[in-house]
Amino acid sequence: MFTSQLNPQQRADALSSLATEEFDILIIGGGVNGVGAALDAVTRGLKVALVESQDFAAGTSSRSSKLIHGGLRYLEQYDFKLVREALRERELMVSTQCPHLVKPVSFLYPLTEKVKERTYVGAGLALYDALRGMKRALPSHKHLTGKTIAAISPSLRQDIITGAIRYFDAQVDDARHTMMIARTAARHGAVMATGVRVDDLIRNGKKVIGVVATDTTTNKKIKISAKSTIMCAGVWSDELHAQFGLTPGYTVAMSKGVHIVLPGDAIKSKDGIILKTPVSVLFLIPWADQWIVGTTDTPYDGDRTKPLATQEDVQYILDQANRVLDPQIKAEDIVGVFAGLRPLVANKTGSATTKLSREHTVDRPAPGFVSLAGGKYTTYRVMAKDAVDLAVLDLRRLVSDSVTDKLPLIGADGYFALVQQSEKIAEKYSVPEATITHLLNRYGSLIEEILGIIDADGSMSERLIPDLPYIKAEILHAVTHEGALSVEDVLLRRTRISFEDFYSGSEVAAEVADIIGAELGWGTKERSASVKSFLAVIDKEEEALLELVNS
């Protein structure tokens, strides 16, 4: 009855619905919490719409550490509730909800002292394992000797590392995961539209009964009617509360997290590595044939739209990682950089962001209006459920309970069977089996959409960049099925080319504009403008890196 496809025609239909229909729930914000709330609400049988001013996952939800984890560091803050909640969500995602997207990853916690440190860290990891409950999709932690570590992780300094403890968490392409949640919500009937900015609220007395919005592509005003509105605006929460004339029960402190990307041969290790730093933790995370290393955790009060890594941010990451690495990583090794902002709920001004809990807050500053802030990516589903639970009180009728803990995301159904048929699929479509594996781990059973594009035009099976696995069919698919409206959407979020190799990303921007331009009805002017906008983002990130290399 409904389709999960997000494309120009779907967006036009969504804009028409927004202007003419009344919704039970309107969601403001297309990050993971927003699309999670849309999915939660629509699968309760409610009439749901979601609007996003930029793109799905345009903010924090595409710039995380790409980890689905309990938050080992929060044990030291005695935040057991958050850790338990996050671990249960992790197990759910890895096992049934989205195994095509969320994959187990092993980490080493290096030890530099033989008895005291091993006892302390071992006890913490034993508690970490225990908090996840009886249903366990990932192995338990294991103690390793120094000799074993030398074989597993040759890059760890043997002169200071006495051993390690291996434990498991999981990783995800955050923007892809957010997109699959959005498409699942659309599949169940949610009306989804990006490029729609909310300017003001519509009130009947004190009650919020809708919003006034703008279609940013045409500047046309839209009045959207809704019985209840949920704002999932992340780091924009304070700004929008003030714009709407609302007084919330919390404020949001922004913390900047920066990551660098290194080629696979920069660090020789079969496992990821986690290090305790003076202010937080540092992850060295295997990412396909590369490494993601981060993160920083510093207070931020700059531009929310485009947080950028500074020379100091990158140097901090290098310094912390090099405490235990030999040979050391260098600035000239870096192939990509990205920065994101964490929205941390703050009770008072001046709180140190590294000490703030990632627990979320659901607030109702006015009848008919609910806002959600805080939390961590891993617990998006719980946060979405809590927000919808509060919002439905304004509907004044019985509403079904949340079912998202039982609902696999699209692409999960049939995934494991397709993995076992990858060789046969590769032969049928005359593509390398590695390409099929890559596609299955990004689209799951929706791989048929990509294969349909290849079937129509065999040249679309070619890689866009020789050293990265993305094929041209994925670029077109980003527009025909995943709502991409610009080169930036494709290279920053639908694929991760922008941070996996931003030099090559700049070189293929024009080709991407050509592939998507026909579908979007672009002429030469529009293609050139979209490329220019993308390059402006990449150029600023390159500047900070070049400063460091040349310093």
Question: Does 291 share its domain with 422?
Answer: no
Question: Does 363 share its domain with 429?
Answer: no
pLDDT of 43 higher than 80: yes
Question: Does 421 share its domain with 315?
Answer: no
Question: 3-class SS at 27?
Answer: strand
| Per-position DSSP letters for 343-363, written without gaps between them | EEEESSTT--GGGS---EEEE
Q: Please, which residues have CB within 8 angstroms of residue 373's CB and are 6 or more apart in sequence?
A: 233, 234, 237, 250, 252, 343, 345, 360, 361, 363
Q: What is the CATH number of the domain that holds 470?
A: 1.10.8.870
Q: How many domains does the chain have?
A: 3
The pLDDT, as a whole number, for residue 114 is 76
| Model pLDDT for residues 8-19, shown as the tens digit of each residue | 999 999 999 999
Q: Examine residue 213 and state whether it is found in any structural domain, yes or no.
A: yes
**Cα–Cα distance between 132 and 359 in angstroms, integer?**
17
Mean of the per-residue pLDDT values of the chain: 92
Task: Report whether 72 contacts 144 (CB < 8 A).
Answer: no
Q: Examine residue 436 and state whether it is found in any structural domain, yes or no.
A: yes
Residue 27 pairs in a beta bridge with: 50, 230
pLDDT, mean of residues 73-86: 82
State which residues form the domain around 481: 415-550
Question: Does 433 share its domain with 522?
Answer: yes
Question: Does 528 share its domain with 430?
Answer: yes
Question: Does 42 share its domain with 182?
Answer: yes
Q: Examine residue 68 and state whether it is found in any structural domain, yes or no.
A: no
Half-sphere exposure of 13 (CA within 13 A, CB side): 14
pLDDT of 132 higher than 80: no
Question: Does 331 share its domain with 393?
Answer: no
Single-letter amino acid code for the residue at 179: M
| Model pLDDT for residues 509-528, shown as the tens digit of each residue | 999 999 999 999 999 999 99
The pLDDT, as a whole number, for residue 548 is 65
Question: Does 308 share its domain with 361?
Answer: no
| Model pLDDT for residues 187-221, shown as the tens digit of each residue | 999 999 999 999 999 999 999 999 999 999 999 99
In angstroms, what CA-CA distances link 396 with 71, 240, 399, 459?
A: 38, 26, 9, 55
Question: 3-class SS at 380?
Answer: helix
